[in-house]
Chains A and B, each alone.
Chain A
Amino acid sequence: MGRGWTRIALSMAIFVAGCATYPVNPSLKQYNPAQGYRYENLTTTDPNKNSEETFIILTFSGGGTRAAALSYGVLEHLHKAPIAEGRKTLLDEVDVISSVSGGSFTAAYYGLFGEEKFFRDYKEGVLHRRIEHELLLRVLAPWNWPWLLSPYFGRSDLADEYYDRYIFEGRTYAQMPTKRPFIIINATDMSLGAQFSFIQDHFDRLCSDLSQVHVSRAVVASSAFPVAFTPITLNNYPKTTCGYTAPRWVASGLQDFAKVPSRYDRAKTWVSYEDAERRPYIHLNDGGLADNIGLRGPEVAITTSDSSWSLLNKVNNGVVKRLAVIIVDAKPQEATTLDDSARPPGVRSVLEAAATNPMENYSSDTIELLRDRLSEWDKAASNFTHRRENVTSRCDDFAAQLCRGSPAFAHCGQERRNECYTRFRETANDQPPHPNLYEIHVRLEATKDPALRAKLEQIPTTLQLPPEDVELLIRAAATLLDQSEEYQRLRRDLDNSSPRS
């Protein structure tokens, strides 16, 4: 009798395992740039609250609950920063949030539920929740084993069910508010090591409809740290099914193999999704593998017109007058314990080092790249001002040199001076577009008190932290923002520009 029941249970387990599959991302009926979750389709309910004139981008790094709490602290502090004579706050002016991994919990929750619920429920409902413990219980629960035995259902799918039910309340992208900030949850395309974002522009490439995808799916993909979590699978549908055509920059970019390899690579990545026969499924894991601070997408939008939400176009059109990028970086202290022993590190340590160290090196490069680009912008503007202010004296010198010794010195000098003015005088049309730029880097390493810094940097990367650590991180975010000279400059400039900002 006992063996009979065992057989029945085993058969049922095998049956369930055979049926269990990941939630399939639906296909898109018709490609339509005027629909779907894209920056350009978002409206602002009150333009006085969030103008593009002041454009604020936040990027949230990975780092488990440490990153989620630090980014929460930044949002809370911006919420307490009044501008425009107290009629709005800096948080009202945030236009884009780009996040990876742990930071994606905060970005998605804030974007989905809005200010009121976020500040009421997020701390208790997410930051204080023992997510890791609860996920482990689900993995260990025997009734989940048949599902986990399925090759089409992994630990990440189990985590997705949990996040969907207990954090994101079953909401899909169709329920994401159609107003700014634009929330960009980033994952990594495992085959290419390229960033894959949960925005309709990226889902168009799969002929898939993001509006029917659960927000929890984006967060679980963004935080699917290798080995601990399984990759998330997306179906890639043939392009004939939705009539999709790639944006024109892609064809241009494919010509830049020799001149601009980074652009060529972006274009090549983009077209790789077009062949659904060759790549019928896309596997995603932690967004931090491609970019652990969520800055690569914004960097492309700021410095090129290749992004669907290109800021360069907005700057050229004179729409953006102030551009602030606030990078929230929960990078921990370097783990040097491996170097304490002559014994070669074990498999787990090697995997962890391979997955995290390149991410951190890449982060510094990304920040420096952005900084270089922004300084080029400043330099161009100051060169222009310098030239315009000096054109009179330069043309006087030029005329004096050319006409030296001429019998009709005065006449010659006047003629040459006029020629010079005509050639070199710069008009309003020559003025280069130039918004005021602010780069604000919130990072634990910048904590001034050495004891507090050590304490913050030793907070582990995990999906559950003691409430006192969460509070410490939230307070640290406020202090780090306040001590940033760039942040203070932004606030001063906005105070001076009110009430128009």
Chain B
Amino acid sequence: MEWVKVNYAETRDVFIDGQQSGKTNKKLIVGEGTHDFDLGVPKNYSPSTQTKTVTGTTEEFPMPIDFEKVA
């Protein structure tokens, strides 16, 4: 069991491997391994998707995944 926190300026849905899996700025539990992260539509964020291998995280130190807001 691994932990991530997807950071973004607003509260939005987080999609992990194409499935809606939680909200931005909250700790989320993911299975160990490689995953694609994105925020769905509208695509007003960058990068459009991030592939991360999530391993060795803890609840106290989740893997940060940052998205920037773009116009």
Binds B, one of A303-311, A411-419, A443-451, A491-499: A303-311
Q: Does A132 reach chain B (CB closer than 8 Å)?
A: no
* Given A376-B1, A431-B27, A433-B28, A256 contacting B19 (CB threshold 8 A): no
CB under 8 Å from chain A, chain B span 1-54: 1, 3, 16-23, 25-36, 51, 53
Binds B, one of A53-61, A74-82, A169-177, A246-254: A246-254
Q: Does A312 reach chain B (CB closer than 8 Å)?
A: yes
CA distance A152 to B10 in the complex (A): 60
Say whether chain B's binding surface is mostly helix, strand, loop, or mixed.
strand
CA distance A306 to B31 in the complex (A): 8
Q: Interface centre among A247, A263, A306, A377, by most B CB within 10 Å? A: A306
Cβ contact within 8 Å between B17 and A247: yes
Binds B, one of A91-99, A138-146, A380-388: A380-388
Interface size grouping (class) on chain B: 20 to 34
* Given A373-B1, A384-B59, A256 contacting B18 (CB threshold 8 A): no
* Given A317-B22, A376-B1, A252 contacting B30 (CB threshold 8 A): no
Which residues of chain A are near B27, meaning CB under 8 Å? 429-433
Interface size grouping (class) on chain A: 20 to 34
In the complex, which residue of chain B has the Cβ closest to the Cβ of A317? B22
Q: Does A259 reach chain B (CB closer than 8 Å)?
A: yes
Chain B proximity of A440: nearest CB distance (Å)? 21
Cβ contact within 8 Å between A313 and B21: yes
CB under 8 Å from chain B, chain A span 235-259: 247-249, 252-253, 255-256, 259
Cβ contact within 8 Å between A252 and B29: no
Say whether chain A's binding surface is mostly helix, strand, loop, or mixed.
helix
Cβ contact within 8 Å between B31 and A432: no
Which residues of chain A are near B51, meaning CB under 8 Å? 252
Besides the contacts A263-B32, A313-B21, what 8 more A-B pairs have beta carbons closer than 8 Å?
Answer: A259-B53, A260-B55, A303-B1, A303-B31, A377-B1, A383-B60, A384-B60, A433-B22
Cβ contact within 8 Å between B36 and A248: yes
CB < 8 Å neighbour of B33 from A259, A310, A313, A429: A259
CA distance A248 to B34 in the complex (A): 11
Q: Does A316 reach chain B (CB closer than 8 Å)?
A: yes
Interface residues as binary, A366-395 with B (CB distance below 8 Å gives 1, 0 otherwise): 000000010011001101100100000000
Name 29 interchain pairs, CB-CB below 8 A, sorted by A: A248-B19, A248-B36, A249-B18, A249-B35, A255-B53, A256-B34, A260-B55, A263-B31, A263-B32, A303-B1, A304-B31, A305-B17, A305-B19, A305-B31, A305-B35, A310-B19, A312-B30, A312-B31, A313-B19, A313-B22, A316-B22, A377-B29, A380-B1, A380-B58, A380-B59, A429-B26, A432-B29, A433-B27, A433-B28
Chain B proximity of A130: nearest CB distance (Å)? 45
Cβ contact within 8 Å between A248 and B1: no
Which residues of chain A are near B35, meaning CB under 8 Å? 249, 252, 305
Which residues of chain A are near B18, meaning CB under 8 Å? 247-249
Which residues of chain B are near A253, meaning CB under 8 Å? 33-34
Cβ contact within 8 Å between B33 and A263: yes
Q: List 6 tightest A-B contacts by C-beta distance, closest first.
A: A304-B31, A316-B22, A380-B59, A248-B18, A249-B17, A248-B17
Interface residues as binary, A421-435 with B (CB distance below 8 Å gives 1, 0 otherwise): 000000001111100
CA distance A384 to B33 in the complex (A): 24
Which residues of chain A are near B59, meaning CB under 8 Å? 380-381, 383-384, 432
Q: Does A13 reach chain B (CB closer than 8 Å)?
A: no
Chain A proximity of B29: nearest CB distance (Å)? 6
In the complex, which residue of chain A has the Cβ closest to the Cβ of B59? A380
Which residues of chain B are near A310, meaning CB under 8 Å? 19, 21
Cβ contact within 8 Å between A387 and B26: no
Which residues of chain B are near A381, meaning CB under 8 Å? 59
CA distance A48 to B1 in the complex (A): 32
Which residues of chain B are near A306, meaning CB under 8 Å? 17, 31
Chain A proximity of B42: nearest CB distance (Å)? 20
Q: Does A315 reach chain B (CB closer than 8 Å)?
A: yes
CA distance A276 to B25 in the complex (A): 43
Which residues of chain B are near A304, meaning CB under 8 Å? 30-31, 33
* Given A316-B29, A380-B59, A305 contacting B21 (CB threshold 8 A): yes
In the complex, which residue of chain B has the Cβ closest to the Cβ of A424? B60
Chain A proximity of B3: nearest CB distance (Å)? 7
